[in-house]
Amino acid sequence: MDFSYQLYSARNEASLDDTLKTLSGLGYTQVEGWGGQFADPAALAQSLKSAGLTMPTAHMGYGQLEDTDAALKIVDTVGIQTVYCPAPPSEAFRTGGGDWQGFAEGLARIAAAFKAAGKGFGYHNHHWEFGKDANGKTPIELILEASPDTQWEMDLAWVVRANEDPIFWMDKLGSRITAVHVKDIAPAGEKTDEDGWADVGTGTLDWPNYIKEIKAKTKARYFVAEHDKPSDAIRFARNAAAALKGYGV
């Protein structure tokens, strides 16, 4: 297992090259990319190489993934091994109106194409994936039932924000979890300028216990540090690296 950094956390930094070099200096060897960075895959690959980093995992939006051949060309150029779709394709899914079954089947088609190309594919959750339908099924279950080849990148803090127990879901679907987002939640009423998120190790989540459970109950290969709205992306990166090293990741 290795710890990584989701570059979406640093989306407001002025220079990607400088950010990558800084992350390398903080002890990161890997980063997780996101869809906005793939306009010039060859340049991105060179930037990673110059910083001494790899990008084994990445996020690509559903619209980008629908052109699967183009997505796989990016994957090959950058050296990505597994791509996770980071969210449902439209606002309707966030307000209860999306066709989760149809979306799950679309993800299954993409997963099949990625598998044929020798690459991994999966889905990353927020909190929307845990509301039950008329049959008592959650969207995350629909997504994973649609294909055995669709993996799950569990964003554990979003599971908690959905008022769910992450360990329950590890017990239920741990064999499908191949990566975990490591983020923290601030005490109630704090860090409102950062949408209530906290740097890893400074919030309310019992990450030492969660790390132990993840190692025991899932197939997670990557622990990816993420903060959805850090006021200082490098401060977050530094604190997250120190915390993850302290947890024995």
Name the residue among 236, 130, 219, 248 with its Cα closest to residue 184. Answer: 236
Distances (CA, A) of 76 to 56, 71, 124, 243: 11, 9, 21, 32
Amino acid at 7: L
Domain boundaries, given as residue ranges, for the chain: 2-246
Angle, helices 41-51/68-78, rounded to nearest 10 degrees = 30
Closest CA to 28 of 51, 61, 60, 10: 51
Which pLDDT score, from 0 to 100, does residue 165 have? 98
Number of residues assigned to the chain: 249
What predicted TM-score, i.e. pTM, was given to this entire model?
0.97
pLDDT for the residue numbered 96: 81
Query: For 99-132, what is each residue's pLDDT tens digit?
Result: 999 999 999 999 999 999 999 999 999 999 999 9
d(CA 159, CA 163) in angstroms, rounded, equals 7
- Give pLDDT, residue 1: 58
Domain range 2-246, CATH class = alpha beta
Q: Which pLDDT value is given to residue 248?
A: 87
- Looking at residue 118, its pLDDT comes to 98
Ranges of residues in the chain with a pLDDT under 70 are 1
Tokens of 91: 């606002």
Give the other-Cβ count within 10 Å of 40's Cβ: 12
**pLDDT of 173:** 98
